[in-house]
Amino acid sequence: MRFEFLVLIVSASLAAAAGQETGAGAARGSGTAGQETGVGAARGSGTAGQETGAGAARGSGTVASAARSESYDSPLTIADAVRMAVARHPDVGKAQASADALKGRIRQVRADALPDIKFVADANRLRDPSLLNASGLDKFPPELRDALVPSAVNLFDYSVVVKQPLFTQGKVGTALRLASIEAEGSLAEIDRAEQDVALATAKAYYDLLWAERYRAIVVETQEQKKLHADMARKLFQNGVATEVDVLRSEVAVANGAPDLVRADNAIRQARALLNYYLGRPLDAATRLAGDFEQKEWAGADLASLEREALRRRPELERLRIAERSAAAQFDLAKADDRMRADFSSSYGVASRLPENLKNSKFIRWTAGVNFTFPLFDGFRRSGEMTQALANQRSARLEREKTEQQIRLAIQQGYDELTAAAETIAAAKANVSQAEKVLAMTQNNYKYGAATTLDTVDAQTAVSVARSNLLRGLHDYAVARANLRWTIGATPWE
């Protein structure tokens, strides 16, 4: 019973690890899943369910065709996996598409400061009784009035019309500055999307690495159980062991089979999640290169990490840009309440007869400057200015909140890294002791000084100790990736 209980604990840990990336709110891995950390509570979680529009955003056909033609024989390092995911993931593609859209917006705003030139041509047939409606027509002789009978005529004209803003009180310049600021924000969004995808991919990579290493532990433990069962049968045949020992050892082998099934399933799930980020088919035989490494954290103190994070985090940069954007919107709203001047002109030909459209006598042109000064607009501009001030204040408060959340995330990430390092140190010592106990117990069993239950307990202790060490290495790698991501660096080294 003790062995089965420990196996259930290990299996539950495996299931939790394999499923930890399926919730859209898991932003910080262990320890901070339930709270918003300010660096985006839903960031870095990584789940196929949260990407409902993934195929449409990046061109699923292109990604799918690239994935089909890709070879999966070469093992992937974590750096290769992250680069591949960033190049293919829909979130990055959507951020890049938004940046392209803002480039078009800048071009559109710049057009307001440039001349608007059009070619206009008309062909009309009309009857105009305006002369008969003249107020002094009654003073004309009756015979003359009777002779004034309007008749339908044709009128042909073509012209080139030019309009050019002369003075807009800085409105066009402010609008162009606003569009440029938003374009800077789109670049920050690209950085944010790339970092989010990089963190989620790194976590998925470490999860698959853990699942594969855990399966090796399960396989080795199962082999030890089988060897012990063979030994128990031989000793029973020689009259040294009892039938109960044989049955217990065979039950232990049977109880280990489900653990191997769960380990295989965990590998399939972890590999499918990683393939999702890599843009590969979910059942692709992706192989990994390397192993867990416990690199000592050589970073600076918490204060230095906070300064680095506040300088580099893309969401903070985006909020700073939002403050500048709100200020530009306020200036734009003020410019709407000022006088503006526009130049307009036209040059063309107007004639009743088509053959005269080339005759210079029928040339018609106009040129003028129009002045516009708004008097009352129903307080529309006042409302726009109030909104701009409120948006600026909201962006400032959100930035201050995010800065505090980043400080909290750094503290939590550093604590998680420290706890994982201490867990590894304790687990290493425990593994050595457990392996020594197992070797002694197996030798004692050969000479009848130990029972099958003692051997099974020793095997279980070794399995748990190795699993704890592996879990500690995994948690250390994830905590290190989280901390590096929090300060704005790449999640891997």
Query: What DSSP assignment string belongs to 430-475?
Result: HHHHHHHHHHHHHHHHHTTSS-HHHHHHHHHHHHHHHHHHHHHHHH
pLDDT at 367 > cutoff 90: yes
Which ranges in 148-278 belong to alpha helices (H)?
171-237, 243-278
Q: What is the mean pLDDT of residues 295-318?
A: 82
Nearest CA-CA partner of 188 in 96, 323, 309, 93: 96
Cβ neighbour number for residue 200 with a 10 Å cutoff: 27
- pLDDT at position 300, please? 65
Q: What are the C-alpha distances in Å from 446 to residues 31, 234, 240?
A: 46, 10, 9
More confident: 63 or 100: 100
Structure tokens at 110: 């710049």
pLDDT digits (tens, 9 = 90+) for 225-242: 888 888 888 888 887 778
Q: Rounded mean pLDDT of the chain?
A: 79
What is this structure's pTM? 0.69
How far apart are alpha carbons 23 and 29 in whole angstroms? 11
Phi-psi region of 392 (alpha: psi -120 to 50; beta: other; left: phi over 0): alpha
Is 302 within 8 Å of 414 (Cβ atoms)?
yes
Higher pLDDT, 251 or 375: 251
Of 287 and 113, the one with more pLDDT: 287
CA distance 375 to 13: 71
pLDDT (tens digit per residue) in 340-351: 898 999 999 999
CATH class of 2-114+170-337+385-486: mainly alpha
Question: Cα separation of 456 and 247, whole Å?
Answer: 12
- Note the pLDDT tens digit of each residue in 249-298: 889 889 889 999 999 999 999 999 999 999 999 999 999 988 888 777 77
Backbone angles phi, psi at 159, to 5 degrees: -160, 160
CA nearest neighbour of 202 among 330, 313, 288, 307:
288
Q: Can you read off the two tokens belonging to residue 353?
A: 């007869």
Cβ count near 378 (within 10 Å): 7
Q: How many Cα atoms sit within 13 Å of 103 on the Cβ side?
A: 7
Cα 173 to the chain's mean position, in Å?
32
- pLDDT per residue as tens digits for the range 41-58: 333 333 333 333 333 334
